[in-house]
Structure 1
Amino acid sequence: MPWKFASLGSVLAALVLSGCSSMSEPKTPVVSAAEAGSGRCNAAAAEFAIGQQASAELLEQARVKSGAQNARVLKPSDMVTLEYRSDRLNLNADDRSIITRVNCG
């Protein structure tokens, strides 16, 4: 009788432990480098914007030259998120919408 309990216990332990392991592939999609592009922001390439009036055209030119995927103009009173994104260009402007600083993030 004790042998039956030991065998049953071993089988149950193996079943419980096998439920903890997973052989499935991760669910995250795989994006190739060609699809994503480099997307890295190079702020030095967009420094030409410093001293200029902020506009949609200037923002797009700076985004393209920096290689960033996204770009935004930030004024002193704007609320911003704190996450760092290596694919985003920030054009920091003063109260008169003159670009004072260029950075990535």
Structure 2
Amino acid sequence: MRTAVLPLLSLLAACAGASGQGPATPPPTAEGSCRNEGLDRFIGQTASAAIGADMLRASGARTLRWSAPGMAMTMDFRPDRLTVSYDGKMVITTARCG
């Protein structure tokens, strides 16, 4: 049993990193930030690829993330990302940057 635990502990230590801190340099920031202004007009519309493209253009975001009902999502903030939530009938309920 002891021999099976040691390799697992070394893997966990490797994942934690030598200093226990994040990277030495922050990740690059995307050019141009997403803007929330004007996104309310999409609330109530049916989610589709065409609507998503329109929302990207309207917000200035570089990335679109769809959020389905009950879907787990990361909470990291990205200034270049638009997150759009929809309900079980594919109706857009929220649209926000980050």
**TM-score under structure 1 normalisation?**
0.61
User: Percent same amino acid among aligned pairs?
Assistant: 32
Higher helix share: 1
Equivalent runs, 1:89-100 vs 2, <5 Å: 89-100=82-93
Point out where structure 1 has 5 or more consecutive residues left out of the alignment.
1-26, 32-36
Between the two structures, name the one with larger relative contact order (CA 8 Å, sep ≥ 6). 2
- Whose Rg is larger? 1
Gaps of 5+ in 2: 1-24
Matches within 5 A, 1:1-105: 38-105=31-98
Query: When the two structures are aligned, how many residues end up with a matched partner?
Result: 74
The Cα RMSD (Å) is: 2.4
Aligned-partner Cα distance in 2 for 1:50–1:85 = 22
> C-alpha displacement at 1:38, in angstroms?
3.8
Q: Give structure 1 regions of 4+ aligned residues with deviation exceeding 3 angstroms.
A: none
